[in-house]
Structure 1
Amino acid sequence: MTEIEQLRVQVDELEMKQAFQEQTIEELNEALTAQQFLIERMQVQMKFLVEKQKSSQTSNLADESEETPPPHY
């Protein structure tokens, strides 16, 4: 195999590797974008749940200052 043929084989191999890397990068980018969307959605849901939990923890008892005194017997 001549030197030119060897160089051509090396160039072909590099071109195949580059194409594979481009495809891999695109797939990783798509996965990252999907994960970011999921994280943002989960943050919104978590905020909603925290607010719902806070609002459900309000006591049904009135403050002592708001309590009417008990009847005396």
Structure 2
Amino acid sequence: MSDVKTLSERIDTLETRLTFQDETIETLNKTITAQWQKIDALTRQIVHLNERLQEAETRAPGAANEPPPHY
């Protein structure tokens, strides 16, 4: 009878650990998903800003490599 009780306690402990691990994995998954969404948004923003910068450089008067007038 003692063996059955010991096995039952071990199973209960394992089930508790499994439940905790499942919750932890779910929390980590949500965190990683949110981070990827933020990274994706920031990447799109960088691309957009880079396009705007290139457009502004092409519209800027004078060549970009000219030295300033005080030289």
Q: What is the TM-score of this pair, normalised by structure 2?
A: 0.80
The one of the two structures with greater contact order (alpha-carbon pairs below 8 A, sep at least 6) is 2
Amino acid at match of 1:24: T
Give the Cα–Cα distance (whole angstroms) in 1 for the partners of residues 48 and 4 of structure 2: 66
Structure 1 residue ranges, 4+ long, deviating more than 2 angstroms after superposition? none
Amino acid at match of 1:38: K
**Structure 2 partner of 1:42:** 42
Q: State the identity %.
A: 34
**Structure 2 partner of 1:68:** none
RMSD value over aligned CA atoms? 1.6
Larger radius of gyration: 1
Q: What is the TM-score of this pair, normalised by structure 1?
A: 0.78
Give the Cα–Cα distance (whole angstroms) in 2 for the partners of residues 50 and 28 of structure 1: 32
Spell out the pairing of 1:50-65 with structure 2 (5 A cutoff): 50-58=50-58, 59-61=60-62
1:55 CA drift (Å): 1.1
Number of aligned residues: 62
CA deviations on 1:16-64 (whole Å, 9 max, x unpaired) are 00000000010001001101100110011000110111111124138xx
